[in-house]
Amino acid sequence: MGTGKRGLITTAVTVVCAVTVLAAPGTAFASPAPTPSASPTRTAAPTPPPDKHLEAVRAKLDKLYHDAAVATDVYNAAEEKARKQSAEIVELAKEIVKSQKKLDGLKDRAGAAARQQYRTGGLPPETQFLLSDDPQHFLDGAGRVLQGQRATRGLIGELTRTQQDLEQYASDASAQWQKLEAGRKAKAAAKKKIKRQIAAAQKLESRLAKKQKERLAELEREAAYQAQTAWLDTGILKEINGKATGLGKKAVTYATAQLGKPYEWGAEGPKTYDCSGLTSQAWASAGRPIPRTSQEQWKQLEHVDIKDMRPGDLIIYFHDASHVAMYVGDGAIVHAPRPGRTVTVAGAGSMPILGVVRPDE
């Protein structure tokens, strides 16, 4: 490829792809020779090349799985919001219980004061001490009245504040419930779309013969190989010399330990993953929680130039940030590709790169 010495992972990816291209049975799917026609004036319509048909199938599959990935991000985002909103509702419920207990206690105190007044004949304290002939009792009574008035005002003020707090907590809880319900609907709609897109892709693939499926897989690998070769031929790998941090090494170790596990939309492990489930769990294992979805990872994490990336950084793919992978060094990534595939190593340039983000800064 004219790019000099590659690292071990790059070499492995390139060799596998090169062998695939060189070994592709290009003549295995040639159109059969036309049967001689009984009439020399009539000719059979030309049969389109098999690879052209399969390329069209591959393009359609790519679109279906891409749309499923976008819907998966919507589903994951709704799921993440639901978790946060549910936690907030639980905390609000605790505050409501505390405020209600406090309000009940304050009402008991107010009731006790009212009962005390009833027992003294309904005369307010100031009237009672004014009727006293004892000067000292008069002075003591005046002090008690002032203290009682302050206590009464404080009790009324506390009752009012507690009632307002209770109403606010209840209002906040109601708002969170409404958001939770809206999120539930968004999640249900996304789930329906995911299943529809995947079912359509699987139906399309099921129509192919075994050899066609094998050739389709070869075409996918060839396309990835060509994209990776073009990316490496820019000389970019000569500029990428970043070293992984301690946290980055932990994240990479986690991600590579998942190799071979199946892709499943909405999954965060430990047995199955989707693309952002893998990257978010890898960084969570390193002690650095990051957003759950590829789109939020793109929005919230620090952006770095491709030439400055280092192992552990996340590469975001496609214009809508619908896919994410972890850079592991030597021009390679680990990612969970799509339904029907497993967590695997691939070339970092095998898909259109949107940009790179860094979780540990």
pLDDT tens column, 91-130: 877 878 877 777 777 777 766 666 665 565 554 555 454 4
Residue-level pLDDT at 77: 87
Residue 7 to residues 18, 67, 227, 334, Cα–Cα distance (Å): 16, 34, 18, 15
For 326, counting Cβ atoms within 10 Å of its Cβ (0-12 exposed, 13-18 middle, 19+ buried), the class is: buried
Contact assessment for residue 300 and residue 308, using Cβ atoms and an 8 Å cutoff: no
Which phi and psi (to 5°) does residue 238 adopt? -65, -25
Residue-level pLDDT at 49: 60
Residue-level pLDDT at 146: 52
Residue-level pLDDT at 17: 39
Residue-level pLDDT at 306: 95
Residue-level pLDDT at 147: 54
Q: What span, in angstroms and rounded, lies between the C-alpha atoms of 5 and 89?
A: 57
Residue-level pLDDT at 123: 47
Contact assessment for residue 356 and residue 299, using Cβ atoms and an 8 Å cutoff: no
Residue-level pLDDT at 39: 40
Q: What's the one-letter identity of residue 323? A: H
Model pTM?
0.66
Contact assessment for residue 316 and residue 356, using Cβ atoms and an 8 Å cutoff: yes
Residue-level pLDDT at 92: 77
Catalytic residue among 17, 53, 66, 275: 275
Q: Which stretches in the chain have pLDDT values below 50?
A: 1-45, 47, 123, 127, 129-131, 138-139, 142, 145
Q: Are strands 323-329 and 332-335 parallel, antiparallel or unpaired?
A: antiparallel
Q: Would residue 303 show up in a list of annotated catalytic residues for this protein?
A: no
Contact assessment for residue 233 and residue 1, using Cβ atoms and an 8 Å cutoff: yes
Residue-level pLDDT at 148: 52
Residue-level pLDDT at 26: 31
Residue-level pLDDT at 97: 81
Residue-level pLDDT at 33: 37
Q: Hey, what are 9's tokens?
A: 């992972």
Q: What span, in angstroms and rounded, lies between the C-alpha atoms of 247 and 305?
A: 20
Q: Would residue 319 show up in a list of annotated catalytic residues for this protein?
A: no
Q: Would residue 323 show up in a list of annotated catalytic residues for this protein?
A: yes
**Residue 95: helix, strand or coil by DSSP?**
helix
Check residue 340 and report its DSSP letter.
T
